């Protein structure tokens, strides 16, 4: 095989526009799946959290063969929190397929990933996807994408992008809307014609830029990346250089792998232009160059955007600590977080002076939430603070992160959304009808003001609104932002909650617990309908003097409790509150559990403010 017989493409898009599903169909049609092999849905989304949440979290590679050419395909995550990953993996690709939902049109992440691809000089292929949707509006979407290319300063060659119309799920694409809808061959043929083969030096010394890192149970550290020059054989001696050119380590390539369909296969030799995996190193990480010993200069790698948001993680010290988890100590938490920071370049971990608290910084609530959720499944117990944005100081000016927010709502709710976002110091930059009685509003908003807004947004739009957010830039600090949620309902006692007590208290607000939920003093059991916190006793049942009373006790009708995801909980809490994360439970609590401690803390806070 030669580099001219290889194509490396990344599939990029906004979240949910159908990247992973398209790859399923490509698999089926490229002969990579054996006749009798059962192919599930979204095969590339292989980890548990990806399958449960229905989103791609980690970029992954796969390869197919088409008319004698090997096409390496990189599936990328569409959610904005994982944008750093997309930016890096584009280094492996020589071309990109930009997917845009035929109904939704370009959304914030479309703009972000397209901007990155154009900057790298790629000439993306546009695939207007989900044409089967009854609300598809392909012609309009095509125009919107053209405008987007233009606004991102695409050059003439890039503006002249080829377009395909497709339903990835149904497995077809076509060059025009009235062409026959048969299969995905037009896409594969276009990739061969339009995407250049990797521009590499086949005869130079071996050089590979590492892009993805994973820990394999058998192979140890495995790095995936593109070979930029030369070839390598198993057992060859190599070294690695970091971005600045410093020597990281010298080692032997104990294993080489290439991609083949859903699988990775061992190879004796790898060549320039291919995307491969190597093993054998101990310290080499993402963005390092693995190369022959004589190489002096590393391959330039793209710096990843710095974190904009952080939470503080501490040990779980609630009365229920240790009941579910096995990994409780700050030493264990520290080891795990540091290991994560090593493989996950978008995350940064810092330890407090006395080593009992950790700042976990990343790109957004979802990215932080995914790590916390993963740790919880590994048996950890943790306390998590409210996320806060990371400020920057430039020329003596305080700066904070801003996001672009695109909201699609039924016309009747535009007023409510504009009111609330303005209160949170957002500025509207665009407003236009988006068809079917809906309006698309675009804002620029300080990230700080958006924390915890999702719940409000869903309430204000009766659950029908769609909101998309993307980091925009750092800008001047916007001053105080109000918009505090209502107070908390706090349990005064420890034990299982009683239906009868909840029943009597449910007009005080929205409950988060139900009959028999174990609670403790200082645990938050609901949201008060007023602004202040309220201590309530959810254990005080009717005296259970006889069986009948107990039976009727359970028969009282309760309003169903509000259930929140980890990320929702994280942004619901205030500074003086925590999310208690254990393997089987998620609880909300006051940082200080007794009213006396809370009073003292409040006084101390006031005193600090007055000084
Ligand atoms: N109607 C329709 N739905 C589709 C099509 N392709 C995918 N979907 C649906 O869109 C949703 C998202 O599909 P995915 O393939 O996970 O999208 P993705 O772009 O990989 O999403 P992320 O990786 O999270 O960014 C799923 O519910 C799919 O069933 C299509 O061609 N038509
Ligand atoms: Mg996906």
3-state per-residue secondary structure call for 205-259:
CCEEEEEEEEEECCCEEEEEEEEEECCEECCCEEEEECCCCCEEEEEECCEEEEE
CA distances from 235 to 105, 251, 294, 436, 499 (A): 49, 9, 17, 62, 67
pLDDT in tens, 79-116: 888 887 888 899 999 999 999 999 999 998 899 899 99
Strand, helix or coil for residue 402:
strand
Looking at the CA of 101, which ligand is closest? 1
Q: Is residue 153 part of a domain?
A: yes
Structure tokens at 602: 């409040």
The count of other CB atoms within 10 Å of the CB of residue 124 is 25
For residues 531 and 423, state if they share a domain: no
Check pLDDT > 80 for residue 54. yes
Ion ligand 2 — residues with CB < 5 Å: 19-20, 56
Hey, is 595 helix, strand or coil?
Answer: helix
Pocket test for ligand 1, best of 14, 16, 110 (most atoms within 8 A of CB): 16
> What's the pLDDT score for residue 550?
45
Q: Does 159 map to a domain?
A: yes
465 lines ligand 1 (CB under 6 A): no
Q: What is the DSSP string of 492-530?
A: -S-EE--HHHHHHHGGGEEES--TT-EE-TTEEEEEESS
Measured at the alpha carbon of residue 404, what is the angle toward residues 399 and 405, in degrees to the nearest 5?
A: 130
The residue among 163, 227, 168 whose CA lies nearest residue 199 is 227
Q: Are residues 185 and 231 in the same domain?
A: no
Cα 299 to the center of its chain, rounded Å: 27
* Model confidence at 39: pLDDT above 80: no
Whether ligand 1 lies within 6 angstroms of the CB of 83 is answered as no
Q: Which one of 152, 168, 194 terminates a domain?
A: 194
CATH number of the domain within which 188 lies: 3.40.50.300
168 ligand 1 Cβ < 6 A: yes
Q: Residue 58 — pLDDT band, cuts 50, 70, 90?
A: confident
Q: How far apart are CA 92 and CA 61, in angstroms?
A: 10
Q: What integer pLDDT is reported at residue 547 of this predicted model?
A: 40
Taking alpha carbons only, the member of 78, 61, 57 closest to residue 13 is 78
Question: Are the CB atoms for 608 and 402 separated by under 8 Å?
Answer: no
What is residue 81's predicted lDDT score, i.e. its pLDDT? Answer: 82
Single out the residue in 425, 453, 476 at which a domain terminates. Answer: 476
pLDDT score of 485: 75
Q: Tens of pLDDT along 172-193?
A: 999 999 999 999 999 999 999 9
> What is the per-residue pLDDT for 364?
86
3-state secondary structure of 201: strand
Residue 496 maps to a domain = yes
Ligand 1 atom closest to the Cα of residue 15 is 25
The domain that holds 227 is classified in CATH as: 2.40.30.10
Residue 42 CA, ligand 2 centroid: distance in Å: 7
Question: What digits encode the pLDDT tens for the residues 273-291?
Answer: 999 999 999 989 888 999 9
Residues 369 and 427: their CA atoms lie apart, in Å, by 28
- Average pLDDT (316-328) is 95
Please report, for the domain that includes residue 406, its CATH number: 3.30.70.240
CATH number, domain at 539? 2.40.50.250
Using the predicted structure, report yes or no on whether residue 544 has a pLDDT greater than 60. Answer: no
136 and 27 part of one domain? yes
366 C-alpha to center of ligand 2: Å?
15
Alpha helices, DSSP H, located in 353-441: 365-377, 414-423
567 falls within a domain: yes
Same domain, residue pair 161 and 50: yes
Is residue 306 one of the residues assigned to a domain? no
Question: Which range of residues forms the domain containing residue 231?
Answer: 207-291
- Pair 76, 10: CB distance under 8 Å: yes
- Together in a domain, 433 and 566: no
Average pLDDT, the chain: 91
Yes or no: say if 591 and 578 are a contact pair by the CB < 8 Å rule: yes
User: Which range is least confidently modeled, 1-10, 26-35, 349-358, 495-504?
Assistant: 26-35
Tell me the pLDDT tens digit for each residue of 357-370. 999 999 888 889 99
Length of the chain: 611
Q: How far away, in angstroms, is 107 Cα from ligand 1 center?
A: 15
Question: Token pair for residue 62?
Answer: 């796969």
Assess if residue 511 is contained within a domain: yes
**Is residue 160 pLDDT above 50, yes or no?**
yes
Q: How much distance in Å is there from the Cα of 437 to the middle of ligand 1?
A: 24
131: exposed, middle or buried (Cβ count in 10 Å: 0-12, 13-18, 19+): buried
Name which of 202, 269, 273 is nearest 234 in CA terms.
Answer: 269
Name the residue with the closest Cα to ligand 1, atom 5: 169
pLDDT value of residue 225: 96
Percent of the chain with pLDDT over 90: 70
Residues 120 and 141 in one domain: yes
Distance between CA atoms of residues 364 and 83, nearest Å = 10
Do residues 65 and 214 both lie within one domain? no
Give mean pLDDT, residues 134-151: 95
Bridge partners of 99, per DSSP, are 13, 127
Distance from Cα 345 to the centre of ligand 2, integer Å: 20
Q: Is 20 in the pocket of ligand 1 (CB under 6 A)?
A: yes
pLDDT band at 549 (very low <50, low <70, confident <90, very high): very low
Q: Give the range among 47-51, 130-134, 264-268, 401-405 with minimum mean pLDDT.
A: 47-51
Task: List the residue whose alpha carbon is closest to atom 7 of ligand 1.
Answer: 18
Regarding whether 216 and 184 lie in a shared domain, the answer is: no
Rounded to the nearest angstrom, the gap between the alpha carbon of residue 118 and the centroid of all alpha carbons in its chain is 23
113 lies in the same domain as 19: yes
Final residue before a domain boundary, out of 166, 194, 222: 194
Ligand 1 close to Cβ of residue 53 (< 6 A): no
Q: Across the chain, which distance is largest between two alpha carbons, in Å?
A: 88
Give the position, in ligand 1's atom list, of the atom nearest the Cα of 167: 31
191-215 residue pLDDT tens: 999 999 999 999 999 999 999 988 8
* Structure confidence at residue 435 as a pLDDT band (50, 70, 90): confident
Residue 334 lies in a domain: no
pLDDT band at residue 57 under the 50/70/90 scheme? confident
**For residue 79, which ligand has an atom nearest its CA?**
1
Ligand 1 atom at minimal distance to the Cα of residue 21: 15
Ligand 2 centroid distance, CA of 48 (Å): 14
Return the top range by mean pLDDT from 74-83, 319-328, 473-482.
Answer: 319-328
Residues 451 and 492 in one domain: no
Write down the pTM of the prediction.
0.84
Q: How many domains does the chain have?
A: 4
CA of 55 to the centre of ligand 1 (A): 9
d(C-alpha 489, C-alpha 57), whole Å: 35
Task: Give the pLDDT of residue 34.
Answer: 65
Chain centroid to Cα 169, Å, comes to: 23
Ordered DSSP codes for 554-582: HHS--PPPP---HHHHHHHS-TTEEEEE-
Share of the chain above pLDDT 70, in %: 96
235 belongs to a structural domain = yes
139 and 231 share one domain: no
Same domain, 442 and 537: no
Identify how many contiguous H helices and E strands the chain contains and give both numbers: 16, 35
What sign for the dihedral angle of Cα 476, 479, 483, 485? positive
- Considering every ligand atom shown, identify the ligand nearest to the alpha carbon of residue 168 and give its number: 1
Give the pLDDT score at 484.
Answer: 64
pLDDT at 303: 65
Distance in angstroms (rounded) separating the CA atoms of residues 525 and 420: 26
């Amino acid at each position: 095989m030669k580099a001219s017989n290889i194509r490396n493409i990344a599939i990029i898009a906004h979240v949910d526009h159908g990247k992973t599903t398209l790859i399923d169909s490509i698999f089926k049609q490229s002969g990579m799946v054996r006749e009798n092999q059962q192919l599930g849905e979204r095969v590339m989304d292989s980890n548990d959290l990806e399958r449960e949440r229905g989103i791609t979290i980690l970029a992954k590679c796969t390869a197919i063969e088409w008319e004698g050419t090997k096409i390496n395909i990189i599936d990328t995550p569409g959610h904005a929190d994982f944008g750093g990953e997309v930016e890096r993996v584009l280094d492996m690709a020589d071309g990109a397929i930009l997917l845009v939902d035929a109904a939704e049109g370009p959304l914030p992440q479309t703009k972000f990933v397209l901007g990155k691809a154009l900057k790298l000089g790629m000439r993306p292929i546009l695939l207007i996807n989900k044409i089967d949707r009854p609300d598809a509006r392909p012609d309009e979407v095509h125009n919107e994408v053209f405008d987007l290319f233009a606004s991102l300063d695409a050059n003439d060659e890039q503006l002249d992008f080829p377009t395909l119309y497709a339903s990835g799920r149904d497995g077809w694409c076509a060059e025009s809307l009235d062409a026959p809808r048969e299969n995905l061959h037009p896409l594969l043929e276009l990739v061969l014609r339009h995407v250049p083969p990797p521009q590499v030096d086949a005869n130079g010394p071996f050089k590979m830029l590492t892009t993805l890192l994973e820990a394999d149970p058998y192979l140890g550290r495995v790095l995936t990346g593109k070979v930029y020059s030369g070839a390598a054989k198993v057992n060859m001696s190599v070294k690695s250089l970091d971005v600045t050119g410093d020597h990281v380590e010298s080692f032997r390539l104990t294993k080489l792998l290439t991609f083949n369909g859903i699988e990775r296969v061992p190879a004796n030799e790898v060549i320039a232009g291919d995307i491969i995996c190597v093993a054998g190193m101990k310290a080499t990480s993402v963005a390092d160059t693995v190369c022959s010993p004589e190489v002096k200069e590393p391959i330039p790698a793209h710096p990843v955007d710095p974190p904009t948001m952080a939470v503080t993680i501490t040990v779980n010290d609630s009365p229920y600590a240790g009941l579910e988890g096995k990994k409780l100590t700050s030493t264990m938490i520290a080891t795990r977080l540091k290991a994560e920071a090593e493989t996950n370049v978008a995350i940064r971990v810092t330890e407090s002076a006395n080593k009992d608290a950790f700042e976990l910084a990343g790109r957004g609530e979802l990215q932080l939430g995914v790590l916390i959720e993963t740790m919880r499944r590994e048996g950890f117990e943790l306390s998590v603070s409210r996320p806060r944005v990371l400020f920057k100081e430039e020329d003596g000016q305080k700066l904070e992160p801003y996001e672009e927010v695109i909201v699609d709502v039924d016309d009747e709710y535009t007023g409510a959304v504009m009111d609330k976002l303005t209160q949170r110091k957002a500025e509207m930059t665009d407003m236009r009808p988006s068809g079917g009685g809906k309006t698309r509003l675009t804002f620029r908003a300080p990230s700080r003001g958006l924390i915890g807004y999702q719940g409000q947004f869903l309430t204000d739009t009766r659950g029908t609104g769609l909101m998309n957010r993307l980091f925009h830039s750092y800008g001047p600090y916007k001053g105080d932002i109000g918009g505090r949620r209502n107070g908390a309902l706090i349990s005064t006692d420890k034990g299982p909650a009683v239906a009868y007590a909840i029943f009597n208290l449910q007009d005080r607000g929205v409950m988060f617990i139900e009959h028999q939920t174990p609670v403790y003093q200082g645990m938050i059991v609901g949201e008060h309908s007023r602004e202040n916190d309220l201590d309530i006793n959810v254990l005080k049942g009717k005296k259970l003097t006889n069986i009948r009373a107990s039976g009727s006790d359970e028969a009282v009708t309760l309003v169903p409790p509000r259930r929140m995801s980890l990320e929702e909980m994280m942004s619901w809490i205030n500074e003086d509150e925590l999310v208690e994360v254990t393997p089987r439970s998620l609880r909300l609590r006051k940082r200080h559990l007794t009213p006396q401690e809370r009073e003292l803390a409040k006084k101390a806070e006031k005193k600090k403010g007055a000084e």
